[in-house]
């Protein structure tokens, strides 16, 4: 069948686009390679999504989104997208479970954790190195862990890990955190979190599992080793845009859009963390998803009208 809109990615942006598309009467399909929910499934707690005065768990919020999408009858196609042919009037999404055709496509593929690229990182991934505190924190109950990064993710996850680990060492390469002040204040006040600022990771060391991290103080240039059982690498994200070869991307690989969230290809829109934007939050992802769906709806109406 020819869908009005194919939405790729089932995080907050994609699920909101699906919801708005269905409510606009579009024949929509949502393509997701894993579980619905995106990066938020790896987030313990969200304090800044409006409507939940006490905050809400990431998984609970995403399950609610999924139930709402289901209520409006959007079909979810669970498959891995392997190739996109977006330039023609009919857009083709080739997956490992068949091909989908649509009049429009909304890209909501989000982003994934960035790697550091230091020795030991790949070798010890799954053996002490992790990119997700909520997924792997329980393996470090009563143990000493290092958190690398100075953004919102590192600050939030350091606090989360402090509830599980015996000690959390938060290591940041600058002397000031990039993340929100309220989150930085929380970690500074937490007795179980030790801060090491102006310090750069050089290598992750161990035998079968992580046993220590090699560091360098960037003020004195002195190198030293800290013993630890786990290293959480939380140094930002990179866009999932490898397949978007027909779209105009910025130098970091984020999709460039206009204010209707249209890409450079007519009928192709982008929303959420995968597009170039100043603030990546659940609240901005859902706003994006709504705009992208309405833009797709206008495109379908206008092009159908011309046909």
Cβ pair 215, 119 in contact under 8 A: no
Burial of 85 (0-12, 13-18, 19+ CB in 10 A): middle
Q: For ligand NAP, give the closer residue by CB, 143 or 178.
A: 178
Residue with CB nearest ligand NAP? 151
With binding defined as CB under 6 A, does residue 150 bind ligand NAP?
Answer: yes
228 is catalytic: no
Closest C-alpha to 160, from 177, 140, 181, 175: 140
CA distance 71 to 294: 19
- Using CB under 6 A, which of 151, 194, 197, 298 touches ligand NAP? 151
Question: Closest distance between ligand NAP and the C-beta of residue 95, in Å?
Answer: 28
Query: Within 13 Å, how many C-alpha atoms sit on residue 57's CB side?
Result: 6
CB of 190 to ligand NAP, least distance (A): 16
Instruction: Considering the candidates 47, 97, 135, 250, report the single residue annotated as catalytic.
Output: 135
Q: Which of 4, 136, 229, 288 is catalytic?
A: 136
Q: Which stretch binds ligand NAP (CB under 6 A): 25-33, 68-76, 102-110, 232-240?
A: 232-240
Q: Among 76, 109, 153, 263, indicate the residue that binds ligand NAP (CB under 6 A).
A: 153
Of 32, 121, 152, 159, which lies in the binding site for ligand NAP, with binding defined by CB under 6 A?
152
Strand pairing partners for 249? 255
| Chain residues 164-193 in contact with ligand NAP, contact rule CB under 6 A | 172-174, 178
- Whether 271 is a known active-site residue: answer no
Which one of the spans 79-87, 150-158, 207-215, 293-301 is the region binding ligand NAP (CB under 6 A)?
150-158
Q: Copy the structure tokens of residue 103.
A: 């009049």
Its sign, for the CA torsion 217, 223, 228, 230, is positive
Whether residue 103 contacts residue 5, with contact meaning beta carbons closer than 8 Å, is answered with: yes
Answer for which of 6, 134, 154, 244 binds ligand NAP (CB under 6 A) is 154
Question: Is 191 part of the annotated catalytic residue set?
Answer: no
- The interface mask with ligand NAP, positions 19-58, x = CB under 6 A, is -----------------------------x----------
End-to-end CA distance of the chain: 18
Q: Which residue(s) pair with 92 in the sheet?
A: 85, 101
Q: Which of 15, 28, 158, 235 binds ligand NAP (CB under 6 A)?
A: 235
* Residues 251-280 interacting with ligand NAP (rule: CB under 6 A): 280
Work out the angle between the directed axes of helices 181-189 and 152-162 (0-180°, nearest 10).
Answer: 30
Q: Which is nearer to ligand NAP, 16 or 153 (CB)?
A: 153
Task: Look at strands 111-113 and 237-239 and give their pairing.
Answer: antiparallel
| Residues of this chain, 106-125, that bind ligand NAP according to CB under 6 A | 116
Q: Tokens at residue 243, please?
A: 């397949």
**Binding flag, residue 9, ligand NAP (CB under 6 A):** no
22 or 270, CB closer to ligand NAP? 270
DSSP secondary structure of 186-241? HHHH-TTEEEE-SEEEEEEEESSSEEEEEEEETTT--EEEEE-SEEEE---EEE--
182, with CB counted inside 10 A (0-12, 13-18, 19+), is: exposed
Closer residue to ligand NAP (CB): 77 or 280: 280
Which residues of the shown chain bind ligand NAP in the complex (CB under 6 A)?
48, 116, 148-154, 156, 172-174, 178, 235-237, 280-281
């Amino acid at each position: 069948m020819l869908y009005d809109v194919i939405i790729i990615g089932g995080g907050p942006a994609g699920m909101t686009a699906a919801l708005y598309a269905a409510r606009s009467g579009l024949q929509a399909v949502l393509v997701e390679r894993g579980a619905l929910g995106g990066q938020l499934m790896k987030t313990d707690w969200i304090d800044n999504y409006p409507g939940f005065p006490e905050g809400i768990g990431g998984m609970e919020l995403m399950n609610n989104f999924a139930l709402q999408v289901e209520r409006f009858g959007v079909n979810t196609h669970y498959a891995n997208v392997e190739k996109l042919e977006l330039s023609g009037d009919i857009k083709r999404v080739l997956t490992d479970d068949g091909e989908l055709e649509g009049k429009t496509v909304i890209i909501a593929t989000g982003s994934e954790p960035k790697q550091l690229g230091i020795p030991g990182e790949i070798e010890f991934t799954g053996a002490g190195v992790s990119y997700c505190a909520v997924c792997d924190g329980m393996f470090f109950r009563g143990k000493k862990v290092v958190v690398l990064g100075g953004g919102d993710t590192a600050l939030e996850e350091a606090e989360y890990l402090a509830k599980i680990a015996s000690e959390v060492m938060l290591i940041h390469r600058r002397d000031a955190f990039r993340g929100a002040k309220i989150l930085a204040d929380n970690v500074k006040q937490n007795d179980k979190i030790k801060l090491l600022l102006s310090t750069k990771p050089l290598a992750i060391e161990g035998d079968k599992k992580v046993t220590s991290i090699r560091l360098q103080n960037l003020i004195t240039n002195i190198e030293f080793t800290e013993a630890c059982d786990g290293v959480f690498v939380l140094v930002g994200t990179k866009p999932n845009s490898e397949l978007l070869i027909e779209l105009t991307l910025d130098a970091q690989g984020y999709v460039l859009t206009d204010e209707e969230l249209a890409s450079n290809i007519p009928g192709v829109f982008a929303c959420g963390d995968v597009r170039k934007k100043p603030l990546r939050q659940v609240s901005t992802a859902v706003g994006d998803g709504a705009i992208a769906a309405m833009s797709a709806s206008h495109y379908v109406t206008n092009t159908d009208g011309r046909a």
